[in-house]
């Protein structure tokens, strides 16, 4: 049965029918319909099941505030769950599936939860799932996992594209209703760069739907004129289907644009969604207001909807949810819906106005049309299960005694209006309670503020609490002019638009429960949060059980959580909580509004960061050469580094052994370009680095290097590297390969939040330079062959650096070693790195030069006892655990982590500390092995007294070596311990010094 009206529908094209499916059933709608309008036109009242009790749910709203009509759209690679039918535009071939039921929407096994509702009150899971304890794993957890979630997660790789866009504006206006259009026009006329975004597909908002006259024009004509004027301005950008998702510090706004959701997939071109990242001088929020539902028994039965939604469907789409509509309200606005329904030829048997004095001129107009109006009356209950069949009427001031029953198939409810203050609140804007209007509205005296303390967000129109059309127009006109002038522009000489024929309305009366003295039986069937199945009694129970904070009550009951974020439920829930606590709504306060305003797709968040671009692969300037040599690659953060260079018929282990031996005996080359390189410069650079590192850097002389340790403010070792002083004000800090961005951010955080007065600038130049380690006894000789002069021990001592010419290329040479051999690290602009590498390889033929990879690097550093961040550290290790006390300055008053390292636990002599391990049978200890202790723990597992951090076969020593953190390790040299084997059992090992090779350092100091 179709409920499409014979006339009306300003947004639809009656000449174009659109075919779509809902749960596999073929239906038709009209071009311009939303999916919700098309479902109503096909008399599909039941659109889903509620999350907790699986109660039948119907369409409640007409916009983004819709809590019930969440559907899955599309299929396979284009399947998207939890899409609002009220905002999804209809297109030919659209496929929609209802959610949260099995095996079908009409016959849902989960509906048994509704029968057992008395056993599932708010917070029941906190109590039920604790006992018996053994039930959790085998009974409760499987049921919870099966039931959890809303909608089905997509299984196929997303076939669509997404993108990010960066934009700048003097003024960003969020909301394309009459307020947003008016404010944008005034700012644009003044010459400001304006970006106007509207989440819907049409301009004008409620003004275009509700009608009226503005400056002699019908409302929708006035809207069209405003849009045309804005489109003609080169300094104004307008975007439909673009939602203001979040407002952040410093005028930063996220906007979410749906580019292809209204088109069939085969017709869509370009990205499906776009995430705008906007920097705006001022943000004007013209986000409107949302009508509140009323709380009465059965207010969730399909066919009960907001009164404003009813007239939207009638006026905009020519659709009615029923033939006999009962209207219930506490304010005058709902009378507009009753009048609209009657003028569309529908029967409105009664308007129930809970106010004893009733309404104003709109009420008189309804009565003139022959609509029965009952004041001081309320709905005791709605009858029907899968759709409304009638209402029982009672006195609002009573306890629910039924005085009359009326048959109907739809109920339109209105509990007043709540300004959309979510975006205002995202960045710290405060709210004030308006008793007369019964709403929270933005507090203009406490706006979101920037670093200079000035406000950068302004609300206008209904979002500012102005509900009358003339008040909206005047507010928006004045605000647009004032904002433009504040940005240095000159407003045009224009007068505020005039709304004609607007009649005053009777005051709203707050109604938080219907009827006022509803008994427990009615309250238990009165719903506050339709999506999360939160009843009046749930909030009352939360208060009774001590959850008096609104944030605690929210989490205990799930009121206003999930995709709804309290749009419909918040104010009514606050009122019920306040009455339970004998407190006012302002005293209860509001929950925290968090971005995004409505859910945005994961694809939009990721943008182009997917597939090969998900994590950009970073390659050194010598990458192609490594590939040609057959290198096996190892991922190190975003970098790819050669693990080793196997020759034909050679295993990886054999290749590593060859590379280590060749380097120790003659000459090896390592591509070290991935090392982090941060330039720290400024008059206070030395003082800043003294705070960053555990040892003193300000005393370092230009031309010299120093190994440094960096700790977090909790005292734990987080990075290490060599610091070189370039001149009096400039240092070059090397970091670990994966640490450059992290350490750069760490430095910037402290500079910007704690030491903002220091004159220091940090630049990440990691990719600007290639770096080549020339290692081995013949390292100096090969450089001399290439014409490099003055690099002997006298001219370039260990831990020094010089600028020299190598093979005709200007190079900075650092005399540092991570292998224990004579070693030079050559830094060169990235564009010359391949040229330098080729020259070194050609000159090195005389010395049997061997390129080596990261595994040989690790073996040699372990033989030498050098630590590796990430191997010997795990976020709980301090320098003292690794025997690096020598790298902690005793001259400095302070450095990051110093006070933390003074804590008792850090000073505990029983900490695990670094030692070496040698197996008695010369075998190699396995990765991840533990050092065992006597006794067993509560799970009958052997106690542990340490763990292996690095383990390798040493070609130099011809046996397995390992480094480990062991309980009181340095005090136990020579002691034998047991180390686990993954295959079972244990191997005996001896605790040794962690330096296995050239302890005196003679090799690197030649």
Q: What's the chain's Rg over C-alpha atoms? A: 36
More confident residue, 121 or 570: 570
Question: Are 557 and 538 within 8 A, CB to CB?
Answer: yes
According to the model, what pLDDT value does residue 483 have? 96
Work out the pLDDT band at 616, boundaries 50, 70, 90. Answer: confident
Q: Return the bridge partners of 70, or none.
A: 84
pLDDT tens sequence across 902-950:
999 999 999 999 999 999 999 999 988 999 999 988 888 889 999 999 9
Cα 923 to Cα 457, 692, 917, 928, 951: the distances in Å are 68, 41, 11, 15, 10
pLDDT tens sequence across 739-783:
999 999 999 999 999 999 999 999 999 999 999 999 999 999 999
pLDDT tens sequence across 261-318:
999 988 888 999 999 999 999 999 999 999 999 999 999 999 999 999 999 999 999 9
Work out the pLDDT band at 531, boundaries 50, 70, 90. Answer: confident
According to the model, what pLDDT value does residue 2 have? 63
Average of per-residue pLDDT values in the chain? 93
Rounded to an integer, the average pLDDT of 494-509 is 92
DSSP 640-672: EEEEE-PPTT--HHHHHHHHHHHHHHT-EEEE-
According to the model, what pLDDT value does residue 453 have? 65
Asked if pLDDT for residue 738 goes beyond 90, the answer is no
Asked if pLDDT for residue 1 goes beyond 60, the answer is no
Query: Cα angle at 329 between 328 and 331, to 5 degrees?
Result: 160
Question: Are 892 and 693 within 8 A, CB to CB?
Answer: no
Q: Give which of 627, 11, 86 is closest to 306, Cα–Cα.
A: 86
Work out the pLDDT band at 372, boundaries 50, 70, 90. Answer: very high
Asked if pLDDT for residue 169 goes beyond 60, the answer is yes
Rounded to an integer, the average pLDDT of 164-181 is 97
- 583-597, 659-673, 765-779, range with the lowest pLDDT: 583-597
Asked if pLDDT for residue 117 goes beyond 80, the answer is no
Asked if pLDDT for residue 727 goes beyond 80, the answer is yes
Cα 378 to Cα 40, 291, 394: the distances in Å are 26, 18, 5
Asked if pLDDT for residue 718 goes beyond 70, the answer is yes
DSSP 115-159: HTGGGS-TTHHHHHTTSSTTHIIIIIHHHHHHH-SSSPPP-SPP-
Question: What whole-number distance in Å separates Cα of residue 322 and Cα of residue 707?
Answer: 79
Q: Return the bridge partners of 917, or none.
A: 962, 991
**% helix / strand / coil in the chain, to the nearest 5?**
25, 30, 45
Q: Which residue has the tokens 């489109």?
A: 231
Question: What whole-number distance in Å separates Cα of residue 80 and Cα of residue 92?
Answer: 17
404-407/390-395 β-pairing: antiparallel
Cα 159 to Cα 78, 163, 267, 489, 892: the distances in Å are 6, 14, 14, 46, 58
Question: Are 395 and 287 within 8 A, CB to CB?
Answer: no
According to the model, what pLDDT value does residue 593 have? 86
Work out the pLDDT band at 451, boundaries 50, 70, 90. Answer: low
Question: Are 397 and 513 within 8 A, CB to CB?
Answer: no
Q: Which residue has the tokens 């009974």?
A: 139
Cis bond before residue 132 (omega within 30° of 0): yes
> 3-state DSSP call for residue 639?
strand
Q: Give which of 217, 179, 215, 222 is closest to 198, Cα–Cα.
A: 179
Work out the pLDDT band at 452, boundaries 50, 70, 90. Answer: low
Question: What whole-number distance in Å separates Cα of residue 783 and Cα of residue 826?
Answer: 10
Q: Give which of 140, 55, 136, 48 is closest to 86, Cα–Cα.
A: 48
Rounded to an integer, the average pLDDT of 950-965 is 96
More confident residue, 453 or 543: 543
pLDDT tens sequence across 375-423:
999 999 999 999 999 999 999 998 889 999 999 999 999 999 999 999 9
Work out the pLDDT band at 52, boundaries 50, 70, 90. Answer: confident
Rounded to an integer, the average pLDDT of 124-147 is 76
Rounded to an integer, the average pLDDT of 973-979 is 95
Question: Are 310 and 408 within 8 A, CB to CB?
Answer: no
Rounded to an integer, the average pLDDT of 793-814 is 96
648 CB contacts (<8 Å, ≥6 apart)? none
**What is the percent of the chain where pLDDT is above 70?**
99
């Amino acid at each position: 049965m179709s409920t499409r009206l014979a006339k009306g529908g300003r947004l639809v094209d009656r000449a174009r029918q659109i075919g779509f499916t809902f749960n596999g059933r073929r239906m038709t709608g009209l071009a311009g319909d939303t999916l919700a309008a098309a479902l109503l036109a096909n008399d599909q009242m039941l659109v889903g099941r509620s999350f907790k009790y699986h109660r039948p749910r119907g369409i409640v709203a007409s916009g983004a505030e819709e809590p019930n009509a969440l559907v899955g759209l599309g299929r396979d690679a284009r399947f998207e769950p939890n899409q609002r039918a009220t905002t999804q535009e209809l297109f030919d071939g659209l496929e929609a599936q209802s959610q949260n039921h099995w095996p079908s929407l009409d016959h849902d096994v989960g509906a048994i939860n509704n029968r057992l509702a008395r056993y599932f009150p708010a917070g029941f899971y906190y109590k039920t799932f604790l006992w018996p304890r053994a039930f959790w794993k085998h009974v409760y957890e499987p049921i919870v996992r099966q039931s959890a979630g809303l909608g089905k997660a997509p299984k196929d790789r997303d076939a669509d594209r997404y993108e990010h866009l960066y934009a700048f504006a003097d003024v960003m206006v969020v909301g394309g209703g009459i307020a947003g259009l008016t404010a944008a026009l005034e700012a644009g006329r003044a010459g400001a760069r304006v970006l106007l975004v509207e989440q819907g597909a049409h301009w004008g908002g409620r003004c275009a739907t509700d009608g009226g006259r503005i400056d002699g024009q019908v409302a929708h004509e006035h809207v069209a004129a405003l849009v045309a004027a804005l489109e003609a301005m080169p300094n104004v950008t307008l975007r439909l289907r673009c939602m203001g998702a979040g407002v952040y510090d410093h005028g930063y706004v996220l906007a979410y644009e749906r580019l292809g959701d209204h088109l069939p997939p085969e017709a869509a071109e370009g990205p499906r969604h776009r995430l705008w990242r906007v920097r705006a001088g001022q943000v004007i929020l013209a986000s409107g207001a949302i009508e509140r539902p009323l709380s009465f028994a059965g207010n969730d039965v399909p066919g009960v909807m907001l009164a404003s939604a009813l007239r939207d469907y009638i006026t905009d789409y020519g659709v009615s949810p029923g033939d006999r509509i009962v209207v219930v309200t506490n304010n005058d606005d709902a009378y507009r819906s009753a009048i609209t329904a009657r003028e569309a030829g529908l029967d409105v048997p009664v308007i129930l106005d809970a106010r004893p004095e009733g309404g104003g001129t709109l009420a008189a107009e309804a009565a003139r049309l022959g609509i029965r109006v009952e004041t001081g009356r309320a709905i005791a209950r709605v009858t029907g299960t899968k759709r409304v069949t009638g209402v029982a009427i009672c006195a609002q001031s009573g306890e629910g005694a039924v005085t009359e029953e009326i048959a109907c198939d739809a109920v339109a409810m209105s509990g007043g209006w709540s300004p959309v203050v979510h975006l205002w609140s995202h960045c710290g804007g405060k709210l004030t309670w308006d008793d007369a209007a019964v709403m929270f509205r933005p507090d203009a005296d406490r706006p979101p503020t920037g670093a200079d303390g000035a406000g950068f967000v302004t609300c206008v129109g209904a979002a500012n609490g102005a509900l009358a059309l003339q008040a909206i127009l005047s507010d928006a006109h004045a605000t647009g002019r004032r904002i433009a002038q504040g940005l240095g522009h000159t407003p045009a000489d224009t007068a505020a638009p005039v709304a004609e024929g607007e009649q005053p309305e009777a005051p709203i009366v707050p109604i938080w429960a219907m009827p006022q003295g509803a008994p427990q039986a009615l309250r238990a069937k009165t719903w506050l949060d339709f999506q999360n199945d939160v009843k009046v009694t749930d909030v009352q129970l939360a208060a009774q059980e001590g959850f008096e904070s609104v944030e605690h009550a929210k989490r205990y009951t799930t009121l206003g959580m999930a995709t709804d974020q309290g749009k419909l439920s918040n104010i009514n829930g606050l009122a019920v909580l306040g009455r339970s606590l004998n407190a006012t709504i302002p005293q209860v306060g509001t929950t925290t509004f968090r971005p995004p305003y409505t859910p945005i797709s994961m694809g939009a968040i990721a943008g182009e960061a997917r597939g090969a671009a998900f994590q950009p692969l970073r390659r050194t300037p010598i990458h192609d050469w490594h590939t040609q040599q057959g290198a096996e690659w190892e991922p190190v953060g975003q970098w790819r580094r050669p693990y080793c260079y196997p020759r034909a018929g050679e295993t990886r282990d054999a290749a590593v052994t060859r590379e280590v031996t060749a380097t120790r005996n003659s000459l090896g080359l390592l591509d070290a370009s991935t090392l982090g390189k941060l330039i720290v410069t400024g008059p206070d650079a030395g003082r800043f680095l003294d705070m960053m590192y555990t040892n003193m850097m300000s005393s370092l002389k230009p031309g010299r290097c120093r190994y440094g340790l960096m700790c977090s403010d909790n005292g734990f070792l987080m990075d290490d590297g060599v610091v070189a002083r370039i001149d009096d004000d400039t240092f070059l800090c090397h970091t670990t390969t994966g640490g450059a961005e992290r350490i750069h951010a760490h430095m910037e955080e402290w500079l910007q939040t704690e030491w903002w007065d220091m004159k220091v600038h940090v630049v990440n130049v990691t990719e600007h330079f290639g770096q080549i380690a020339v290692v081995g006894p013949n390292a100096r000789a090969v450089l001399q062959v290439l014409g490099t002069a003055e690099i002997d021990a006298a001219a370039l001592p260990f831990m020094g650096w010089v600028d020299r010419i190598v093979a005709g290329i200007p190079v900075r040479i650092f005399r540092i070693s991570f292998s224990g051999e004579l070693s030079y690290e050559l830094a060169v602009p990235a564009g010359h790195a391949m040229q330098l590498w080729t020259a070194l390889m050609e000159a090195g033929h005389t010395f049997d030069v061997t390129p080596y990879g990261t595994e040989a690097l690790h073996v040699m550093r372990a033989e030498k006892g050098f630590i590796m961040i990430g191997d010997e550290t795990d976020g709980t290790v301090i320098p003292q655990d690794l025997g690096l006390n020598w790298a902690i300055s005793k001259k400095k008053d302070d450095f990051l982590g110093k006070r933390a390292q003074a804590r008792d636990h850090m000073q505990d002599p029983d900490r695990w500390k670094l030692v070496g391990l040698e197996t008695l049978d010369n075998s190699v200890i396995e990765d991840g092995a533990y050092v065992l202790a006597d006794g067993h723990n509560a799970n009958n597992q052997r106690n542990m007294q340490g763990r292996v951090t690095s383990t390798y076969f040493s070609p130099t020593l011809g046996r397995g070596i390992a480094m480990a953190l062991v309980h009181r390790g340095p005090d136990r040299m020579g002691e034998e311990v047991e180390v686990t084997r993954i295959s079972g059992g244990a191997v005996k090992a001896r605790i040794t010094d962690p330096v296995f090779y050239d302890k005196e350092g003679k090799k690197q100091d030649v």
